[in-house]
Amino acid sequence: MNDANRIESAEIRSGVSYHTVVGATLKGRLLVAVWVDHPAGRFPVHARQAGRRAARRYYR
């Protein structure tokens, strides 16, 4: 996502980094993408339309 207003966060669980990004597409659709950085590589977990909770955080 190239959204300048995107919200990024990271969390470490059991030695694995979970990354979350909330941002808007060029057409204004708000998405949430999650992936893990693992010693074996980077793996996508999911990408979906943002729910109300994520949207409230984004639009504040």
**Residue 29 counted as domain residue:** yes
pLDDT of residue 1: 67
pLDDT of residue 47: 94
**Residue 2 counted as domain residue:** no
Domain count for the chain = 1
AA letter at 3: D
Distance CA 24, CA 42 (A): 22
**Residue 1 counted as domain residue:** no
**Residue 35 counted as domain residue:** yes
**Residue 54 counted as domain residue:** yes
Distance CA 36, CA 19 (A): 6
Ranges in the chain, pLDDT < 70 = 1
Domain residues for the domain of 37 are 7-59
**Residue 28 counted as domain residue:** yes
Q: Can you say whether residue 5 is alpha, beta or left, with left for phi > 0 and alpha for psi between -120 and 50 degrees?
A: alpha
